[in-house]
Each structure stands twice: as C-alpha cells, then as structure tokens.
Structure 1
Amino acid sequence: MSRREGRARTVVAVMPPPPSKCAKFLYYTWKLCSVVFSHLVMISLVVAYCVLGAVTFERLEADHEREVKRNISSLRNHTTQSIWSMTRAAPLLNQTNWTAEVVHMLKDFENSILLEMKVRGWDGSESTDHIQWTFTGALFYSIIVITTIGNVACHHQLMK
C-alpha cells in the first residue's frame, strides 16, 4: 500500500445518519414552541405592565383629583360666605366701598382658581362623581407612556 492510498483512507469521513422523522418533529416542535411562548410571554408582560400602571395611576391620581374638586367648592363657598358676612356686617351700604371690597375678594378667588388650574390640574368641573382618572383613562395613559418611551428609544437608536 502506498502512502497515497493511506491518506485517502483517512480523508474519507463517515457521514452521520440523517435524523429520524421523530427527531425532526421534536426539533421543529421545540423551535415553534420557543418562538410562540417567547412572544406570548413578551405580550403578557406588556399587558401586565399596562394594567399595573393603570391601577397605580388610578389609585394615585383619582384621590388627588377629588381633593382638588372639593377644594374648588370650598373656595367658592368661602368667597360667598365672606361677601355675605361683609354685607351683613355693614351698618350702611355704600356702593363704592362695597363694590371695591367685593372686587378685591373676587380677584383673590380668581387667583385661587388659576392656581388650582395651573398647578394642581383642575379641569373646570366640580363634580366628584365624574373624574378623569378612571381605570379606563389610567389604562389609556399607561399605554401612551409605553408608546412614548418606545418611540423615544427607537428615535434615539436611529440617531446613533
């Protein structure tokens, strides 16, 4: 036997037998399950995050919104009572003095209303039965937060 024949024998590789139908089935079933379950897990996490965010926002903001609306009613009642008390306490009603005092009280009331609107987010309604921070509104806000963060992150990646 020559050297060439010896090399040829070592070069020939033995091919493994092709996978059985059962092995192919298990392989592709595993691939399908891993893709489906990974997507289901991701979708479930996003939905759970939105629902948890909605519950959190509703709990945090609904009480605050009711408090702001009660505060507005209190401000209105206080201003009305102050005007009435001033009117009853006056021994003689002088239109000029009474008007000047009422204008001053109403300006204070306007400033308080503007403060409630700008700083505390009053929406113009005093009904504590109808609030914006329901579960549905909070869920919508939670979804908006997620999409905004995703949009900003995507934009940031594109800018790199």
Structure 2
Amino acid sequence: MSNVYSSDPEDLERKGPSFCSRLLKYTWKTISCLFSHITLVSMVVSYCILGAFTFHRLEKDNEVQVKKNISNIRNHAIDKLWLITNGSNVLSEERFIKNSTQILHEFENSLWLAISKQGWDGEESTDTIQWSLPGALFYSIIVITTIGESHL
C-alpha cells in the first residue's frame, strides 16, 4: 500500500502537511493579511482625502462670507459714529459719549457673535482662509484620530 493513501494515524503525524498544503496555507495567510491591511489603510486615506475636499467645499464660502460681513459691520459702526460727529452743529460731550458708547457696544456684540457662533478668527483678509485644502485635510485627520477616544 502506498504511503500517500495510508490511513494509519501514525503515518499522518510523522509526515505532517505536504509542501503544497503548507505553501497554500501561508500564501493564503499572506494574501489575506496584505489585502485586509491594504484595504483598511486605503479606506482611511480615502476618508481623509474625501473629508478634506468636503470640509473645504462646505466651509470655505462661509468663512469668506463671515469675513466680508465683519467688514460691513465695522463700516456701519464707523458711518454711525461719523453721522453723530458730523450731524450736530455743536458737539456735546455727554450726548456723544452716550451715543457712541451705544454704537460701540452694538459693534462689540456683533464681533462677539461672529467669534463665538460663526467661527471668525479675527482676520478680515479673504486671501488667507483657515479652510484651505491642507487645513481641511488636517481637520479631517484630527476627526478620524479622535473618534472613539471620549471614554478616556
């Protein structure tokens, strides 16, 4: 009787798996490990890049609009102060202080609202924006790396 078809358990223990079965086993493990890791890494990279484009697209226009709005708020306050100064024949110190304090308080509230609710960073130039593509990519990476860390 041939050793290949032997049903004796001692023969199987002594021989072990064949070269082909070991080759297939390790090839399968290598391929499955590589594909699972490559797939996972490519999904993370894809998420970060897609998130960067999404954040950039959604937030850039809003940031530019907020910066333009700040300029309008400032110009409106300046115009009101100029009207107080230029509109009266005699400039009364008490009335000027009262009216200008009110105008400046409204301006301060508008700035506070822009900073706290609309995300204004104090920069009025529309040439420099926070939501550039690299900034959005950085934010996307921060989001994916902090997910699930709230339990700490």
TM-score, normalised by the number of residues in structure 1: 0.78
Shift of 1:38: 0.8
RMSD (Å) for aligned C-alpha atoms: 2.2
Name the counterpart of 1:142.
140
Q: Out of 67, 70, 85, which is 1:69 matched to?
A: 67
Shift of 1:36: 0.6
Name the counterpart of 1:13.
7
Structure 1 gap segments, 5+ residues each: 1-11
Residue deviations 1:28-66 (CA, integer Å, cap 9, x gap): 222211111110000000111111111111111111111
Shift of 1:20: 4.6
- Indicate the larger mover: 121-130 or 38-47: 121-130
Name the counterpart of 1:44.
42
Shift of 1:103: 1.5
Name the counterpart of 1:26.
24
**1:78 aligns to 2:76 (yes or no):** yes
Residue deviations 1:83-127 (CA, integer Å, cap 9, x gap): 112322212222222222111111111111111111112111111
Shift of 1:19: 5.2
Q: Out of 108, 111, 116, which is 1:110 matched to?
A: 108
**1:54 aligns to 2:22 (yes or no):** no
Structure 1 Cα separation of the partners of residues 131 and 84 of structure 2: 39
Shift of 1:70: 0.8
Name the counterpart of 1:128.
126
Task: Name the SS of the counterpart of 2:126 in structure 1.
Answer: coil
Q: How many positions carry a matched residue from both structures?
A: 143
- Indicate the larger mover: 37-46 or 51-60: 51-60
- What code does the residue aligned with 1:26 have? L
Task: Name the SS of the counterpart of 1:150 in structure 2.
Answer: coil
Higher normalized helix content (fraction of residues)? 1
- Indicate the larger mover: 41-50 or 90-99: 90-99
Name the counterpart of 2:3.
none
